[in-house]
Structure 1
Amino acid sequence: MPRFRLFHLTLRRRTALYFSIGLTAVILSTLLITRYFFLYSINELEDLELERANKQAFSVIQMMARQLEERSFDWAYWDDTYQLFTERNIEEYRELNLFQDTLDTLGLDMMAFVTVQGELIESLVRDDSAVISPDLVKQAVQNQNVQSHLHEMRRQLDGKQKSLAGLERIAGRIWLLSLTPVRNSEGSSAVAGWLIWGQDLSSRFPGGFADILSSENGLDVVMPGYAIPSEAHATGADKWLQKNALYLTAWTPVTDLANHKIAYLKTQQPRVYYQKGSDLFVYLIVVVSSVTGLIAVATFFLFNNRISTRFADFEQTVMQLFSKYQLEDLSSRRSDELERITQLVEVLAENTSLTEGKLNDTLQKLDALYQNRSIGMLLVVDGEIIDVNQAAAQLLGYNKQDLLNQELRCICAEDQQGCSEEKIKHAAENGKTRFEALMQAKGEREIECLVELTPIHHENQQALMISLSDLSEQKKQERMIKDLVGRDPLSGLYNRPAILAKLDKLIETEPTRFSFLYISIEKLKQISEVYGHLVFDDAVKLVASVFGRALKGFEVGRISEFEFIAIIPEGEQYDEALMGANRFMDILAKTREVSGIELDLNSKVAVIDPSLSDQPLGYLLQAAAYTIQTYHHDRVTEVIQITKATADKAQHALMISRDIVTAVRENAIIAYYQPIVDTESGKVGGFEALARWIHPELGFVSPEIFIHLAEQNQLIVELGESIVRQACRFLSTLNRQREEAGLLPLSVHVNLSAIHFYHARLPAYLRQVMAEFDIAPGLLVVEITESTLLGIESETLDRMTEIKSLGVQLALDDFGTGYSSFSTLCSFPLDIVKLDKSYIDQVENNDRARTLIRSIAGMAKELGLTTVAEGVETASQLRKLKTWNIDEIQGYYFYKPLPEQEAMEKFCGDARNQFAR
């Protein structure tokens, strides 16, 4: 039997075989290549989908942190929470606010209240969770990152103390924490403490977000021994990806407040499309291989029997034609394939003519659509407008002929750098086919348009079809909506966030070139409290209308119940703004009728020096508020200037206000003792206890400053009690040693504010302290000012009688500086009258002052009152006062206020030190 050999096949069979094998190879290789690129694309898409799902889950965690921080401000800026720190009413606060339902309502697992120094004063932890550690709050408060933030904030000015939110690993679980400074509801007080909210992220994530997240997500806590599976490979900075036939898994690091890795966000999704695609191609390969085999066999026999036979006949015929030159015989052979091809070409030519007619019809339709479309269309070649439809011409305000053959930049606004031919072409090549731009219309009018680019060919040239859609009305609506969001619904002025955002932007972009007016109308607050909200609303609307008249053209915002800000954006408008502010004050200086009620809306206006406007906004607002608060004039007739010196004082006041609570409660404010000398004998008969505060950073702080702040922060009673206790302890020790030395006891004077004098627990406290330190009757003197006597006379008399029954003497301090008259000395059971230093300073050159002092001394003598002259500094003053029978002298002529230890050493037992000078 002869052996079959491929090379022994005839050319006809060999051609058929090659054609069949080639066809099979092309089909199968195309299928395999398609499978490769198909699965590769699916793999890439799955990677992108997994990355997007991981970022989505990470965004959910960031959103939870941001929402937790934002919601915590409602509690941190709540007056009840502020008073928890300032008044330490812990039991009351707990009973009213701290329940397990509170945690459910707020979506929390833990909350804690921490002082500025980091001391925990109260907390609430979910008690229905078995995974929450018992000492969770302690671990959270003592967390290194939490303590670091609290320590850093203590070093900052109050205006720069800010909240913080993020993740922390506590007791082997991931917690979402927020640290928020506690202030009063107006946000004007110093930071009183910190509010810490916590969510157990290990339990809550993904939680309710699982339905909206596209993949399965979880948190792997990084603990000792934890490691990413070895099959995973790194895809970035500490990011890992693991692939197998069934799942894709990604790990992304999660960091704490200090940016230290504490966990991995694990995202996993099944490889559904990859598995289906792979199975589909296995099925296709089997089916196509079978079908291809059948087609290849059929093609082989068909090609061999028909086509290759035809080629053989065609070849034979051609050879005959060339040998015989009988080409004319071909026209008579109607069954030849070439003839059929000729016939086909004739048919195609006829069809081409028909197609050309149809194409012309289509072009006419497209031209009609182009000319009548409502969207403007321009055809641009090499930066030149070669065609434009009527809609574009109308939009730009030109005739169509005016735009033809003009350069594209003639319709682009000057500040639109991206509108040139090169920029537009570059944008189109990079896939940016839609963008917004300002187009220059006729008459220098600018129109906001949506520009769409379509690269085309025009007469064998690259061209751009540009469509223009008018966005003017849409942009106008958007600006109106944005403006309404930033408006105060009552006054129509900008609200607090909007006006402060504008100031922040000016600080960033125009430092030292802008300014603003700070307007305070304190009577508005009283109107709200006295007349109610309806009258208050009408008053605010009246003020807003006055702003519209006096400061027209300036942006004005309402930042609190009674405070406003007007922005001066440019230095050239500074004088104009000041004139407007003066007009504003003049208008409101007159009594106004609001809702049938005559109201006094007197205002104060301060202006920031433009040279200060590069400072942080909190610094500027603090300086403005301080300037307004410390300007003590009933009527302000001109704008108050806020200078660098005033701003520095404001920062000092802020620092003092921040530290005064600690100073009072830790007895950092101590008593100094100024001796009071008997005029006749020259002996020291007692002391006046004077509060002194030596601040660790600012040094000596004037009592005029910290006593006022103590009253504002409701600490004046605590401060008064502290000085009373220090004075009684000093007097007890001093008199005990003097008794041992055979010397007479001395007395001590203590100043009490009007608030403290009428405080319910004052008599009981005086009784307790006098008993504790064994103070004899008559040795403790309470000094009160004339303003204390302006209350209801019967209540004042009852309180004075109650205090005197304890053996405490009463002294009227600074007599003659207030509203009292000589009848005051007769109406109240006083023991001592103290003449103010302002009168003593004038005894040398003011006859009226001398007459008044002699009259007071004579009246006091008749009433059996002791007279004390304060502020005596010269021998001449002493001689005159002695002549006028003033009983006792107090002042720098004899002694300055002495620290306790120095006073104790000087007067405890040495008889030589009992005489002044």
Structure 2
Amino acid sequence: MNAASFRTVFEDLEHPMAMATPSGRFIEVNKAYCRFLGYARPELLEKSVFEITHPADLDCARTLFKEVADGLRDQFHYQKRYLRKDGREVHARITTVWMKGRESNHPVCIATIEDITPEPTHVSTFEETQISQSLLENIDLGVNLVDEEHQVLYANRGTSRMLRKDLQEIIGQKCFRAFAKTETVCRYCPGVRAMKDGMPHSIEKEGRREDGSSFIVNVQAIPVFDKDGKSRKFIEVAEDITQRRAIEKELKLNQDRIDYLAHHDSLTGLPNRTLLYDRLKLAIDRAQRYKEQLSVIIFELDGIKKINDALGFDARNQLIKDVSARFKANVRKTDSLCFLGRDVFGMVLDKADSFQRSAFVARKILSLLKFRPFFISGHELHLTASIGISHYPEDGRNVESLLRAAESARGQARENGGDGYQYYQAEMENRSRYYLRLQGELHRALEKDQLTVFYQAQVAPSEGKLSGIEALVRWRHPERGLVSPAEFIPLAEDTGLIVPLGRRVMEITCQQAKQWKDAGLLPFRVAVNVSPVQVAKGNLKQTVKEVLNETGLPPEHLEIEITEAVLANNPEKTLQVLTNLKNMGVTLALDDFGTGYSSLGYLQKYPIDRIKIAREFIRSMLHNDRDAAIVESIIALGEKLGMGVVAEGVETEDTLDFLLAFGCTNIQGFYYAKPMDGKTFSSYLKDWCGAHSACPMKV
């Protein structure tokens, strides 16, 4: 850096800085230094450091400068008081570095000053002393004064409580003997380091008491300076953090447990669909990078429903567990065996460089099932499977297309009678023609307003009131009647029709909600589901704003319901979209929590108001302790984070009782009400008011 550049930087620094000779005469000062002391620059350049130093601190300052002049130091840190031009006293922490001048061998001091002047107080010196002493003796920290021989010169009551010893037993002891029951100075002793470089240092270590009990302590050592500027003592501030570390450890274990439960099937212990998705994505990335191939295998066990009907649910579960255990013992770990639910398994064959490899694995699956029977409830069972296979890159270049191709091939294998495997064939024309026709009909459905919305109640049982409504789209096909969303929503997402379709559903819902509000029947929210495609490709903020303006529905009555897939796709854009909606006053709910890309980080990062427990867990928790544990953990998590929790898919009183025992406050499902069209649901709202003392209008 040249002289001009240095001068500019020096002048513009926010911290006060000065340059001086060993005799204390100023060479240069910056603007901040002048402001700090109230002098003009020419005035300071005519003075020495000692002329503006408080008389009580002069000896220390002169000693330090003399040691530099004698070559005993090349830097020092100390605290002192200055006298401003107006006579006021100011306190400073000073750090100096001494460098050789360009034109002479005399060192030049470059000093950085930190203003540590205490705030003005109306408390007398006597009162300050009393407050400090009272605070020192009653604070829940150990505070000790220790000399350079590590002898404790002073200890407060906090130290006595921490070590469970009388003060007389502590004062006079070596600090390492008092705290750690050792005879040597601890490694990386913060006190030694603090006295050496004049700066505070800290360490976390294990302490040990006379009774043999141990504790975790955080020790901070602060140097104490003599008048000559040297540190021969230090203040030791000790905090017992044993309980804090225990809580952190427990939280870490709980986080690990929740993460495991969220990514593994509770019945089989195998990775679930989420983990299969992640591993397949990694495998595709690797295959793209190294120009490799891979295969996806999806297979289902044939005839499981008949076994369930004949032997019961418990026998069926035991069979699934036994099948999983056999597969785990007989396939490579690198093949990523996963359980996808019900009776379906998946595998990713990394580096599968030929059709023969996938065929070999498929035949191995069939032989493991057919030729080695399973013994369940006294019955000998021989199983078969329907297996679908897709290959990268021939059948798809991303996770969704490869899984879809394998699923399609599995369906074909099942239609062929099971007990075999089927490669995906792009010319499976029947299905393709069907979806092509359905796409055209969906276009016409939007044009002719064939979409309708059904509504399902959310109930707060403990309060005896409705707590919300979910809007569910239906398609009134002129020939086929009501078409399930499971049939046309994926098609709408694939074709982009989900954007206008989603807007139309929101318009219908908000118009209906405004009518209920005007009738005094809507003090709560109406939830509208939003697809990941709407967030990624549609201007969701503008859509919501326009629909609310057009319908006149206040934003606090609208809830946008998203799935975890939305959060996993383009997180930065998603966060911006959700934050904009939140700022508008719209509530945000996270649907199917626990089955997709579950992460506690999402709840922390995104402005989510409510979480909805996936119905898969609700259905199985009565028969599966691990699913019950997941449900209980999610409810507790929602309560801790101040989020509402909704359990959907509740159909029986036993399920309801379980959820109420876990503290769930919002219930949705057939137990209370099936989805209804707008007219029927309007009557339902009025009837609810008549049948319940806690009418929605009075909430």
Range into which the TM-score falls when normalised by the shorter chain: 0.3 to 0.5
More helix by share: 1
**Structure 2 length as normaliser, TM-score?**
0.40
Q: So what's the TM-score if we normalise by structure 1? A: 0.31
